[in-house]
Amino acid sequence: MTTDQSLVLRTYADAARTAHATLTALDQLSGDGDFGDNLREGLDRVTAALDAHPDRPPYAVAASVFLDEVGGTSGPLIGLLFQELARAHEAHSDERDAWRAGTGEGLAAIQRVGEAEPGDRTMVDALVPARDALEAGSGPREVALAALEGAHATAALRARRGRASYVGQRAVGFPDPGALGVALLFWSRARARKE
């Protein structure tokens, strides 16, 4: 079984385009409304960069785009996740091992920089269940489901990090846009997988 890295990223770009209006509306409730644009435009730049540089390692391409060019709090944080996924795919030939190591290291990097804990209503709340499922040896679909459930569960949380922490209860009942956006990466991985 293999997963084509560039197909994962192209699937993620399609998902971000489809989810754009929802992600925008969610970030309007809790933040400044730019998360849908940040993710969609970042991933459109990634697909353009993949077309221009088909020989470069795809997750490393995604990392440099998100670290250097994508704005918002989420841009550099998602860049760190791609950076660790790129490293882990270099180090591990087994795809599950690469995702387990890359997600674990990516989550650690995001927490070092952003200092969010689980339950703070951020992308960490999608990454922790994804990391746990990967550590338990789960396959791509179960991992994606864990990430999406983690994102969904942020609807019950009051934000303690990021702009959403300024608006108090207003966004309670709706999920955190960043958690949902990051869960879509795991969904894209599951979708792009060739048996």
Q: How far apart are CA 9 and CA 12, in angstroms?
A: 5
Q: Which of 6, 8, 13, 27 touches Mg ion by CB under 5 A?
A: 27
- Shortest Å, Cβ 40 to Mg ion: 13
**Residue closer to ligand ADP, measured from CB, 60 or 123:** 123
Q: Which of 11, 178, 183, 184 touches ligand ADP by CB under 6 A?
A: 178
Residues 6 or more apart whose Cβ sits within 8 Å of residue 68: 79
Ranges within 53-72 binding Mg ion (CB under 5 A):
72
Binding footprint of Mg ion, residue count (CB under 5 A):
6
Q: How far apart are CA 69 and CA 97, in angstroms?
A: 29
Per-residue binding string, Mg ion, 69-88, x by CB under 5 A, is ---x----------------
Query: Residue 7: phi, psi to the nearest 5?
Result: -70, -35
Count of C-beta atoms within a 10 Å radius of residue 127: 29
Q: Which of 12, 24, 31, 49 touches ligand ADP by CB under 6 A?
A: 31
68 binds, among Mg ion, ligand ADP, none (CB under 5 to 8 A by kind): none
Dig out the tokens for 184 from the structure: 């879509």
Listed residue (45, 52, 55, 120) closest to 79, CA to CA:
45
Listed residue (66, 42, 40, 35) closest to 171, CA to CA:
35
Helix, strand, coil percent content, the chain, rounded in steps of 5? 75, 0, 25
**Residue closer to Mg ion, measured from CB, 72 or 181:** 72
**Which of 6-14, 42-50, 95-103, 107-115 is the region at the interface with ligand ADP (rule: CB under 6 A)?**
107-115
Binding footprint of ligand ADP, residue count (CB under 6 A):
24
Residues that bind ligand ADP (CB under 6 A): 27, 31-32, 34-35, 38, 72-74, 77, 110, 114-116, 122-124, 161-163, 176-179
